[in-house]
Amino acid sequence: MAVSDHVNLEQFMEGVERRNPGEIEFHQAVYEVAVNVFDFIADKEVYHEYQILRRIAEPDRVVSFRVCWEDDKGDTRVQRGWRVQNNNSIGPYKGGLRFHSRVNQSILKFLAFEQTFKNSLTGLPMGGGKGGSNFNPKGKSDHEVMRFCQSFMNELYRHVGEDVDVPAGDIGVGAREIGYLFGQYKRITNRFVGVLTGKGMEYGGSPIRTEATGYGTVYFMESMLNRVNDSVDGKTCLVSGSGNVAQHAVEKINHLGGRAVTLSDSGGFIYDPEGIDTDKLAFVKDLKNLRRGRLSEYAKKFGVEHHEGRPWGITADLAFPCATQNEISTAEAKTLIANGVKGVSEGANMPTEQQGIHAFTNAKVLFAPSKAANAGGVAVSGLEMSQNSARITWKEEDLQKLLLDIMTGIHDRCVEHGRSPNDDYVNYVKGANIAAFIKVADAMLAYGVV
């Protein structure tokens, strides 16, 4: 069959939308990849013939289940849980669990699809998966969270395993939740194996897994800037979110001599023009990780502004969206550009709307898409899996070096596939999509039609 006889991008997307009705985040994630992949495979018959992208955009399986638990008043509560196993062509399914009131199947399918490409970029043998629940941990006691996690694992344990599918944290799932989940897995199966990553150091965790996503996102920015003889040093930075990724992005910005001036949560954002230094960051970690409080407390404590909404109207050199999907609208992207932003590195997954991404790349802003920029977290998860298999723990300094090497390697692969033929601008979105696609696609070709 001639290449011209195959479906084009529009027909492909019509099919995705028809087969996945109403799943708008999933459509968005597939489209973002398909735009670049269709160009790349235009003259590559084998990828068309074996329907590679069509197959990656059809999850291997979506498991959905009921999760019942008892709250502190003794009332029965019912939630929905999922595990989306998108693709295991290059390794066991791997990806986080998200607990948030607005989690749905579309969001988890988009995340599992993205994870397949992200994990490919790390160079480690990991396929893509994601899971979670519409359980809202906000305002719940530790005991309620524990009972929920135990009930969630009572079903999830059938679908995961150290060589099958290895979940980790994401929004609403941190050290506390991973502990409860791992404890229940061990109790049900009587097996102590690396079935989850992000574990505590006492029971098989890896040094720097906690820091890895935020650090990696800033390393990626540093690589983009170094390539044009610039650096994070001296730059004013906007950071959104105030959880795991945002906190460690701020920490690394500080290490590299930058100044982070904002953080946000679902109640608004703080603007601290003096910069969120080490002491203030320690306050944020205590506030968010232990007291589970609101950022408005930061504003009161340090006498700075607190506003509703998101921080993208503040003038700065660099932006690090580290909260959630679609948190930079097209209009906000244009505001950032008008205010002279030089670089954007996405710590969150798919935080920029599709047209916002085009606005950044058209304006030749250095733009690092999430699947490249935040891959440091899952990369160190992959290294946690290796350590668990070998039943050893590597030294922190070795892991620090590996994370930096992996992020530099991802940057260089994006440059290889994303460099413009006309000038020196690198389209990191295109580079990441193509580099990630090739590895997964070639593994699938090796297996034939399965």
Which of residues 225 and 373 has its CB atom nearest to ligand 2IT in the complex?
Answer: 373
Cα 65–chain centre separation: 24
What is the contact mask toward ligand 2IT in residues 128 to 147, using x (rule: CB under 6 A)? --------------------
- The values of phi and psi at residue 196, to 5°, are -135, 150
What is the contact mask toward ligand 2IT in residues 373 to 392, using x (rule: CB under 6 A)? ----xx--x-----------
How many CB atoms are closer than 10 A to CB 314?
Answer: 19
Q: Could you give the CA distance from residue 296 to residue 306 in angstroms, rounded to a whole number?
A: 6
Pairing of strands 262-265, 76-87: unpaired
What is the contact mask toward ligand NDP in residues 184 to 223, using x (rule: CB under 6 A)? -----------------------------x----------
Identify the CA nearest to 208 among candidates 345, 389, 370, 403.
403
Q: Which does 265 bind (CB under 5 to 8 A by kind): ligand 2IT, ligand NDP, none?
A: ligand NDP
Does 242 bind ligand NDP (CB under 6 A)? Our answer is: yes
Number of residues that bind ligand 2IT (CB under 6 A): 12
Which of residues 36 and 349 has its CB atom nearest to ligand 2IT in the complex?
Answer: 349
Which of residues 95 and 431 has its CB atom nearest to ligand 2IT in the complex?
Answer: 95
Q: Could you give the CA distance from residue 137 to residue 415 in angstroms, rounded to a whole number?
A: 40
Q: Could you give the CA distance from residue 423 to residue 234 in angstroms, rounded to a whole number?
A: 27
Q: Which does 245 bind (CB under 5 to 8 A by kind): ligand 2IT, ligand NDP, none?
A: ligand NDP
Helices 396-418, 209-227: axis angle to 10 degrees equals 40
What is the contact mask toward ligand NDP in residues 355 to 374, using x (rule: CB under 6 A)? -------------------x
Which of residues 363 and 404 has its CB atom nearest to ligand 2IT in the complex?
Answer: 404
Q: Which does 172 bind (CB under 5 to 8 A by kind): ligand 2IT, ligand NDP, none?
A: ligand NDP
How many CB atoms are closer than 10 A to CB 334?
Answer: 16
Classify 235 as helix, strand or coil: coil
Does 347 bind ligand NDP (CB under 6 A)? Our answer is: yes
How is 247-305 classified by DSSP, letter by letter?
A: HHHHHHHHHTT-EE-EEEETTEEEE-TT---HHHHHHHHIIIIIS---THHHHHHHT-E
Q: Could you give the CA distance from residue 192 to residue 227 in angstroms, rounded to a whole number?
A: 44
Indicate the length of the chain as a whole number.
Answer: 450
Which of residues 217 and 349 has its CB atom nearest to ligand 2IT in the complex?
Answer: 349
In the region spanning residues 267 to 296, those forming contacts with ligand NDP, defined by CB under 6 A, are: 267
Name which position in 60, 170, 211, 384 contacts ligand NDP (CB under 6 A): 170
Identify the CA nearest to 328 among candidates 235, 426, 239.
239
Is residue 254 a contact partner of residue 281, using CB atoms and an 8 Å limit? yes
Active site residue 130: yes
Marked catalytic residue, from 130, 140, 199, 430: 130
Binding residues for ligand 2IT, per CB under 6 A?
Answer: 94-96, 115, 118, 168, 170, 197, 349, 377-378, 381
Catalytic residues: 130
Which residues here bind ligand NDP, judged by CB under 6 A? Answer: 169-172, 174, 213, 241-246, 265-267, 322-324, 347-349, 374, 377
